[in-house]
Structure 1
Amino acid sequence: MVTSLFSASFAHLGDAVWRADELGCAAGATVASGHAALDAQLPGGGWPVGAIVEVLQAQSGQNEWRLLLPALRRAAPGPVVLVGAPHVPFGPGLCAQGFEAQRLLWIRAGAPAARLWASEQALRCAEVAAVLAWLPQVRAEQLRRLQMAAQEHSKLLFVMRPAQAIAESSPAVLRLLVASQSAGEGAPGDALQLHILKRRGPPLTQALALPARCARLGALLALRVKAEEVVRDTGGGDALDRLAAAA
């Protein structure tokens, strides 16, 4: 009798039971990352809303925009807050990829405590759509506080940390290690190599290779390369005519 009751109860749970060898469902809403190959490997098919996404990389400022910008374009309207960004965002480049640079709010904060305070306050602001925080010296208990704020106010939260933090514990529901991939590794020179270190699901043993630039920006950069070649070959004399022919 006990066995039959247990079996009936387990059967009643049905799809509500998550098996560790299967990709789990997102606990809440998600926003598509804009990379089809990545979305296929993320619970819920995108970045989780109301949870920390931790982006680890060897050097800050190299890959986060190329990874996150497609999703930021799709996010709810409102400011995108940058806390402790290592470089001033390049407005024309963002506009070329379809993102309104006027949505950015850049908060300069050098001290770790100031960055944490600014990040938490931004998460509590109703108008804010997403928070990107560069927190190289953050501790696990501090991340848990940000996790609670992101969950309470249903915000997209991306935390950038150095690659050395891979060995540290983290409450983030999703942890990624991102690096640029050279052309010699069998992919375009501007591709991103992405390791999913932590997700709700089985480990992903193989790295993902994601195109780093949208087609429009790639075309603009290719045209710029052609222009430089024309100027170099002709000394600038008939550069415009030859560029028009090459395009």
Structure 2
Amino acid sequence: MNALRNSAVASLHADVWQADALAGAPARVLATGDAVLDAQLPGGGWPLGALTEVLQPPGVHSEWRLLLPALARCGSGAVVLVGAPLAPFGPALQAQGLMLHRLLWVAEPASAQRLWATEQALRCADVDAVVAWLHPVRAEQLRRLQIAAAEFNKLLFVLRPEQAQADSSPAVLRLWVGPASRQPNQPDHMDALAVRALKRRGPPLPHTLHLAARPARLVRLLAASQREMGHALDRTAACV
């Protein structure tokens, strides 16, 4: 009986997934830039042609740490920012691979206009990705964005406050993101991100992920710099 069941499950279409298993990715995905996070996402990355929601606590703006690696590699077209609460600092983004000529910032305070601009951007052939800060927003409005993202195969992120956790959403992926708690004797941990998967195509993720905020190359450079500084202090102390 078990062999028959396993055979039947194996023959299911890739779009069908079991609740106790992480879904595959019949559609394309884009790696997040963090192997720990990729391992917990269906297909191993951000879904293309689908809505991803990122929820954050009040006053927290960790979206660039989380999304920048993928936005920098998502293509050569425009990356549209709709309703960003703070002006993007272009030189810092360019230093991490997101070229300034690709950025398009739509500064619109009204919710209805933000929704309209987001949908129009998704329908634009020259746009590779859309990042929209939307609040308040209803489930049916998000569904329109999900449909547009799927129709035009765009990378879509919607940023919302953490209080929206209780709201229904058509997003295929919902994440809560915030600063990780500081751990003793782990100085590199102080800039890490805590990520919880609120919704994904697969079993619930029972634990919080901790992602390094600094790129691996920067971590190595900082560590080498600290070692060199320590050696210099040792030499100075020896000469006193």
- TM-score with structure 1 length normalisation? 0.82
C-alpha offsets along residues 123-181 of structure 1, whole Å, 9 cap, x if unaligned? 00001010000002010000000000000000000000000000010000000000011
CA contact (8 A) 1:60 1:86 kept: no
**Whole-Å separation in 1 of the counterparts to 2:143 and 2:29:** 20
CA contact (8 A) 1:82 1:105 kept: yes
**How many correspondences in the alignment?**
224
When structure 1 is superposed on structure 2, of 216-225 and 20-29 the one drifting more is: 216-225
Offset at 1:97?
1.4
Offset at 1:9?
8.9
State the match for 2:212 in structure 1. 211
C-alpha offsets along residues 14-41 of structure 1, whole Å, 9 cap, x if unaligned? 5745221000012411000001001001
State the match for 1:229 in structure 2. none
C-alpha offsets along residues 195-238 of structure 1, whole Å, 9 cap, x if unaligned? 0010000000000000112145557889999xxxxxxxxxxxxx
Structure 1 residues 88 and 218, CA gap change in structure 2 (3 angstroms):
farther
Aligned-partner residue type, residue 162 of structure 1:
P
Q: Is residue 122 of structure 2 the alignment partner of residue 133 of structure 1?
A: no
CA contact (8 A) 1:96 1:216 kept: no
Offset at 1:91?
1.3
CA contact (8 A) 1:60 1:162 kept: no
CA contact (8 A) 1:97 1:216 kept: no
Gaps of 5+ in 1: 226-241
Identity %, equivalent residues: 59
State the match for 2:162 in structure 1. 163
State the match for 1:71 in structure 2. 70
**Whole-Å separation in 2 of the counterparts to 1:54 and 1:8:** 34
SS at match of 1:138: coil
SS at match of 2:201: coil
> Root-mean-square deviation (CA), in Å?
2.9
State the match for 1:197 in structure 2. 198
Aligned-partner residue type, residue 10 of structure 1:
A
CA contact (8 A) 2:60 2:178 kept: no
When structure 1 is superposed on structure 2, of 82-91 and 6-15 the one drifting more is: 6-15
CA contact (8 A) 1:60 1:160 kept: no
